[in-house]
């Protein structure tokens, strides 16, 4: 399967949708890495580093908007300390993209 390259412009457009939500809470989001396989690793900074709602923000707007970008296969955040099953349950409760098919 040939994966299309992730467009920097499309990725920045997704970040433009996410950032106001995060900046409004005293945090920010950064790209930590983009793998050749299309896995985008993000890092939350500022107030987001210690936020008790980090998992909800990750599976809600962050993962949802970034997964809409062509070429993005997955979004990861090492700071989120929850199982895939728990994150999937949260995503489904929020009406976001499920983590488990």
32 found inside a domain? yes
Domain span at residue 83? 8-94
- Split into its structural domains, the chain has a count of 1
Q: What's the rounded Cα separation, in Å, for the pair 21 and 84?
A: 24
Check residues 4 and 72 and name the one with the higher pLDDT.
Answer: 72
DSSP SS3 for 50:
helix
CATH number of the domain encompassing residue 41: 3.30.300.130
- Residues 71-94: pLDDT tens digits? 999 999 999 999 999 999 999 999
14 found inside a domain? yes
Q: Mean pLDDT across the chain, nearest whole number?
A: 92
* CB contact at 8 A, 86 and 99: no
Can you say whether the dihedral through the CA atoms of 83, 33, 50, 95 is positive or negative? negative
């Amino acid at each position: 399967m040939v994966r299309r390259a992730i467009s920097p412009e499309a990725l920045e457009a997704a970040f433009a949708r996410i950032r106001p939500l995060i900046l409004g809470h005293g945090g920010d989001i950064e790209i930590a890495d983009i793998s050749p396989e299309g896995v985008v690793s993000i890092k939350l900074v500022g107030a987001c580093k210690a936020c008790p709602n980090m998992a909800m923000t990750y599976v809600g707007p962050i993962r949802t908007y970034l997964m809409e970008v062509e070429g993005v296969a997955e979004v990861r955040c090492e700071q989120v300390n929850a199982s895939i099953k728990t994150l999937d349950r949260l995503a489904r409760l929020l009406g976001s993209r499920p983590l488990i098919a």
